[in-house]
């Protein structure tokens, strides 16, 4: 019997947690003991269970009894088990059994039990991911989808909730694609293909391709390319590729517009990677990445190990010789500055030379004569004040000469006194 859309909506919206919880502890088909309820939805429930014959821990998806006579729902339920078995990929959850309970007639799928959490929970915790992390998580899923497409299976419901990040006993992480419930086997008989009526939309709206939103017939792997692009967009930016206040507005937006550039939502995402994601989200099928293999290959070519722009090297600025602009700077100060600027290490100042308090040092400069107290020569000052310019005595004026800085030495040479009591500076 065909499914009535109104009945499907009302049943899927009906809370099933109470009914599902009542099954905990039951023995399904005389073999599977239901240990605990993992999750419940409108279509059924998932349990952690144990195969009492082998002792293996498994996950069992039980279809709600209300759908036991619904041909369309049953076809989708069987298709999920058949599709996963048909592909047999390490990044697709393994289906172990499919059956019907002999006691109350409910249908069930037995799958491998996975430890971990889905991608939605991961994204809710960490927010936007680095390009490396996003690609590492999605590449195995894309390889699984490529294998599915090669077997004629289109998933049609790519979303973070259907990507499970499984943790193995050894700590290895294996992303796995789950829930092929609305997958489409493109080589099935025409009567089975007609179970999905053209003009109906199947999938999660935020990740549906434009052709899915329009209800087009003849969907192929490029719809999954779009779905993966929408998930990668959200992983990299922390934002949905398309948002709208209601379902109808969202459908119109997906069909008629392009997503906001990743450069605006996540400027740190490299332009090359953003371009790959946007090509997957191209509305035109002809312009979109042609296959999941092409999408995966484009990501593999992207240099994830390429280092980002290195920071500027932290090299100490080279010390430059400072030549004071003020003419007539005291030679004792200039000598000390020269020693410091050329990297000479002066561990201690020379011992002060006893001088009469009135003794002054005469310094000959091109434009003026400057005098500083001799006591200033005894030790290097902590701060160099701007020298005071005074008129030069006529007797002290000599032809202008260039003051040359002495080569670096450990300590200044001793100063000698002239006959008139002035200090004689070294040449």
Helix or strand (DSSP H, E) at 59: strand 57-63
Strands 163-167 and 44-51: unpaired
Kindly give, in sequence order, each residue whose CB lies less than 8 Å from that of residue 329, ignoring residues fewer than 6 positions away.
370, 387
Cα–Cα distance, 423 to 413 (Å, whole number): 12
- Phi then psi dihedrals of residue 124, to 5 deg: -65, -30
Structure tokens at 83: 């599709």
Token code pair at residue 182: 């609305």
CA distance 410 to 425: 17
User: What is d(CA 5, CA 3) in angstroms, rounded to the nearest whole number?
Assistant: 6
CA distance from start to end of the chain: 114
**367 CB-near residues (< 8 Å, 6+ apart):** 327, 328, 400
Kindly name the residue from 101, 118, 157, 224 that is annotated as catalytic.
157
Using the structure block, give the residue that is written with the tokens 């701007």.
Answer: 386
Phi, psi (5° rounding) for residue 132? -60, -50
Q: Are 24 and 35 in contact (CB under 8 A)?
A: yes
What is d(CA 249, CA 93) in angstroms, rounded to the nearest whole number?
34
278 Rama class: left (phi>0) / alpha (psi -120 to 50) / beta = alpha
How many C-beta atoms lie closer than 10 Å to residue 175's C-beta? 22
157 catalytically annotated:
yes
List the catalytic residues. Answer: 157
């Amino acid at each position: 019997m065909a499914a009535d859309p109104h009945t499907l909506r009302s049943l899927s919206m009906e809370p099933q947690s109470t009914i599902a919880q009542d099954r905990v502890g039951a023995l399904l088909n005389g073999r599977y003991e239901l240990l605990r309820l993992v999750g419940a939805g409108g279509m059924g429930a998932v349990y952690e269970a144990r195969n009492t014959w082998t002792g293996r821990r498994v996950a069992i998806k039980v279809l709600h009894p209300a759908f036991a006579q619904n041909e369309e729902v049953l076809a989708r339920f069987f298709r999920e088990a058949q599709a996963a078995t048909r592909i047999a990929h390490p990044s697709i959850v393994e289906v172990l059994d499919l059956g019907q309970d002999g006691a109350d007639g409910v249908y069930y799928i037995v799958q491998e039990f996975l430890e971990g959490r889905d991608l939605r929970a991961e994204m809710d915790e960490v927010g936007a991911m680095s390009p490396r992390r996003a690609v590492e998580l999605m590449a195995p899923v894309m390889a699984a989808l490529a294998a599915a497409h090669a077997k004629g299976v289109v998933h049609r419901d790519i979303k973070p909730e259907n990507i499970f990040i499984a943790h193995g006993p050894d700590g290895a992480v294996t992303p796995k694609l789950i829930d092929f419930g609305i997958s489409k086997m493109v080589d099935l008989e025409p009567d089975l293909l007609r179970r999905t009526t053209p003009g109906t939309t199947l999938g999660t709206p935020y990740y549906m391709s434009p052709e899915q939103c329009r209800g087009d017939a003849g969907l192929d792997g490029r719809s999954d390319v779009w779905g993966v692009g929408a998930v990668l967009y959200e992983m990299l930016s922390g934002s949905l590729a398309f948002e709208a206040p209601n379902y109808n507005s969202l459908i119109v937006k997906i069909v008629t517009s392009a997503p906001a550039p990743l450069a605006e939502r996540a400027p740190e995402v490299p332009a090359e990677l953003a371009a790959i994601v946007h090509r997957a989200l191209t509305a035109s099928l002809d312009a979109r990445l042609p296959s999941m293999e092409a999408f995966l290959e484009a990501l593999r070519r992207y240099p994830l190990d390429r280092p980002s722009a290195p920071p500027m090297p932290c090299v100490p600025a080279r010390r430059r010789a400072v030549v004071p602009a003020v003419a007539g700077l005291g030679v004792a100060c200039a000598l000390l500055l020269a020693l410091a600027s050329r990297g000479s290490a002066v561990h201690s100042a020379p011992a002060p030379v006893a001088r009469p308090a009135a003794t002054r040092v005469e310094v000959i400069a091109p434009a003026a004569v400057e005098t500083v107290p001799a006591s200033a020569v005894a030790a290097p000052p902590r701060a160099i004040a701007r020298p005071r310019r005074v008129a030069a005595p006529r007797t002290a004026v000599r032809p202008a000469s260039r003051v040359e800085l002495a080569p670096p030495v450990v300590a200044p040479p001793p100063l000698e006194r002239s006959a008139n009591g002035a200090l004689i500076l070294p040449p």
